[in-house]
Amino acid sequence: MKKSTLTGLILLAFVIACRLFTPVAEFYAGYCYPVISACLSLAVSVFPFSLEEITVLSFSFLFIRTILLAIKGKRGFMYWLKGTSVVAMWLVVWFYMGWGNNYFRTSLYERAGVERRAFDREEFNRFISFYTDELNRTSGAAVRTDRKELEQDINAFYCQEPARLGYTGLHSWQRTKRPLLNRLYSWVSVLGYMGPFFCESQLNLDLQETEYASTLAHEKAHLAGVTSEAEANYWSFVYCSQSPDDGVRYSGYLHLLPYVIINARSLLTEEEYREWIGRVSPTAIDDYRESREYWSRKRIRIMDDIQYRLMDTMLKTNKVSQGADDYIGVLGMIITMHRY
């Protein structure tokens, strides 16, 4: 027990060093995470289901067990505090050593040597014109690519341009897993998530066909070491928009539509906004509305609100200043990186 605790404290010190010193986080992202993610995901690749929920439930059991042992043995507050601290330490260490230390590395802009673009109306109008033409051209297209082939192609994509910008290439055994508690994710409208404990990507089994390719590419970005939600959206868009399959391209453009609408409403005049929305394909508008209604029917509002607040707090704690609103920044990243 003493050796185990000492090991945990040493790893915890490394986690703290990653948070405080960017070069240490860069060392982790460049040399540790590729090995750790490959080994963890390979070890659990034989399981078709996710082990992330099992891990979280196991830690919850350990917390409860510590309380019960303290009560049963009448050992007092200090016994409970010591046991709880050890369990909490290993939870934190596993989360950050498994994946979370990627939060503290330099941003994509810094690694690419790109200066973030300030808002420029003319540039935004050019982007929205290009985006609308491509969305309309592909609207309604069905994905022709087999899902296994699609996943292999996405894995290969992350071994190319993202890898050249400092991210971790993906392996053939890093296949998506099915969640064990899928209904819970539908209740809070989570389409997919990256598991930090075994480096597993999970997709909600209730995903619609038009959402599948873009969501898969988004979650694979997290597996490659991307922590920003806006940037995961960016890489998802980059992958989908260069696909030869019109259905995959449509998934990427449709996935971006809510963020384009939010930005267009705030950056365009009322007349300009109405003119733009009138140009968007009715098929794309119908698919967007259908998706919103589809997830709204599954959502439990109070659970969704709790999940949003927890996610917002978690992201802000890990130096993502926009918190859960980080997703919206994808358009600025697309425009900036397109210029690069």
SS3 143: coil
Residue 277: per-residue pLDDT:
93
User: Which two three-digit tokens encode residue 11?
Assistant: 């790893």
Between 83 and 167, name the one with better pLDDT.
Answer: 167
Q: Where would I find the beta strands (DSSP E) of the chain?
A: 192-195, 200-203
Out of 71-80, 133-142, 219-228, least confident range: 71-80
pTM for this entry:
0.93
Quick check: 340 pLDDT over 80? no
User: What's the CA gap between 164 and 53, in Å, rounded?
Assistant: 33
What sign for the dihedral angle of Cα 232, 147, 160, 178?
positive
Whether the Cβ atoms of residue 188 and residue 307 lie closer than 8 Å to each other: yes
Out of 5-19, 70-84, 316-330, least confident range: 70-84
% pLDDT > 70, the chain: 99
User: Which two three-digit tokens encode residue 213?
Assistant: 């390719």
Beta partners for 177?
202
The gap from C-alpha 123 to its chain's centroid, in whole angstroms, comes to: 28
Residue 1: per-residue pLDDT:
64
